[in-house]
């Protein structure tokens, strides 16, 4: 399963970076191969200052070794070994009318002191963070999410859509990071699903990314915008930073397992602003977005 899934994410990285380069039409991804002292490593692909994409990364990694102390407490286990591999991507378009997107899929194993595997699970998802609300974009994104889910179980979309709304939530701001999508974790084998079923579902979701996002980017990347639109985008990007550094378990996991800092923090936007106590004008497009983020809604 380890090697099957790692092969999958290698191919997915290839497909996605090619599709994004084509859509960007200017810059190409720069590749960095890195090793982790305690075991494993990764292949980061970063794009900056493209025609369309201001900054983005599509990274894969596979790390293993003794589970760090801080993560033992987190998983409520003793001294164990672990293996984790996954693909993680974040795309920050230049145009404030085009949304930021994040997607991730991952596989985790844990071993006892005799190197026997004692646990294994899949996780992943994708979610959209617009700066201006185009309802048809949110609908399209969620339709693709639902389509992927429905291939596997009729309850999956609602369950994982709700988990996404709950997870990508800036509690200290009382607002969602974006308009959501899917989030799932700890998908283990049980009475209903084999681990192969979990693999199939996770990879279907991974495969859905291109169709879920690229058409949106394509529609919005050349829209007109004002300096005020750009300021709003940078202020909202600040909320993205707050979520990733304060609340995101993936970032935390990376920082605590001595992951490669530059690969983990590629998720942070290229330019960001923090204004004191900023409030959009009543009845504005900016306020319309905020209202949606305060009250996550159903899109399909």
Of 251, 50, 81, nearest in space to 168 by CA: 251
Sign of the four-CA dihedral 121, 152, 86, 104? negative
* Annotated catalytic residue 102: yes
Site for its own copies contains 119 (CB under 8 A): no
Q: Are 31 and 10 in contact (CB under 8 A)?
A: no
Instruction: Find the length of the chain.
Output: 300
Q: How far apart are CA 185 and CA 193, in angstroms?
A: 14
Site mask for its own copies (CB under 8 A), range 268-297, x = bound: xxxxxxxxxx--------------------
CA of residue 18 relative to chain centroid, distance: 18
Q: Does 204 bind its own copies (CB under 8 A)?
A: no
Nearer to its own copies, 80 or 255 (CB): 255
Q: Provide φ and ψ at 51, rounded to 5°.
A: -65, -35
Q: How far is the CB of 161 from its own copies (least distance, A)?
A: 27
**Number of residues counted as binding its own copies (CB under 8 A):** 28
Is 261 an interacting residue with respect to its own copies (CB under 8 A)? yes
The nearer residue to its own copies, 1 or 255, going by C-beta atoms, is 255
| Ranges within 123-182 binding its own copies (CB under 8 A) | 172-173
Q: What is the separation of C-alpha 245 from the centre of its chain, rounded to a whole number of angstroms?
A: 14
Question: Of 38, 91, 90, 89, which is closest to residue 67 (Cα–Cα)?
Answer: 38
User: Among 102, 142, 153, 279, which one carries the catalytic annotation?
Assistant: 102
Residue of 71, 110, 241, 300 that binds its own copies (CB under 8 A)? 241
Residues of this chain that bind its own copies (CB under 8 A): 32, 46, 48, 55, 57, 172-173, 234, 238, 241-242, 245-246, 255, 261-262, 265-266, 268-277
Residues with catalytic function = 102
């Amino acid at each position: 399963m380890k090697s099957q899934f790692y092969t999958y994410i290698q191919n997915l990285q290839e497909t996605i970076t090619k599709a994004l380069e084509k859509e960007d039409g200017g810059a190409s991804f720069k590749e960095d191969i890195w090793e982790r002292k305690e075991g494993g490593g990764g292949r980061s692909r970063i794009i900056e200052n493209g025609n369309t994409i201001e900054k983005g990364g599509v990274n894969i990694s596979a790390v293993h070794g003794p589970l760090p102390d801080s993560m033992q407490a987190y998983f409520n286990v003793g001294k164990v070994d672990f293996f984790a591999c996954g693909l993680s991507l974040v795309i920050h378009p230049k145009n404030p009318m085009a949304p930021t997107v994040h997607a991730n899929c991952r596989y985790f194993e844990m071993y006892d002191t005799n190197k026997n595997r004692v646990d294994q699970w899949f996780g992943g998802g994708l979610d959209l963070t617009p700066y201006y609300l185009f309802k048809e974009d949110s609908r399209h994104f969620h339709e693709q999410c639902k389509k992927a889910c429905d291939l596997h179980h009729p309850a999956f979309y609602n369950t994982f859509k709700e988990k996404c709304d709950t997870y990508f939530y800036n509690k200290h701001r009382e607002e969602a990071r974006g308009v959501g999508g899917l989030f799932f974790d700890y998908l283990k084998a049980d009475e209903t699903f084999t681990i192969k079923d979990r693999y199939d579902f996770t990879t279907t979701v991974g495969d859905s990314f291109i169709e879920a996002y690229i058409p949106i980017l394509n529609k919005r990347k050349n829209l007109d915008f004002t300096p005020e639109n750009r300021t709003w985008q940078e202020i909202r990007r600040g909320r993205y930073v707050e979520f990733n550094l304060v609340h995101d378990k993936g970032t935390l996991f990376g920082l605590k397992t001595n992951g490669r800092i530059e690969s983990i923090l590629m998720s942070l936007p290229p330019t960001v602003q923090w204004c004191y106590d900023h409030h959009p004008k009543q009845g504005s497009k900016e306020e319309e977005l905020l209202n949606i983020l305060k009250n996550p809604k159903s899109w399909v």
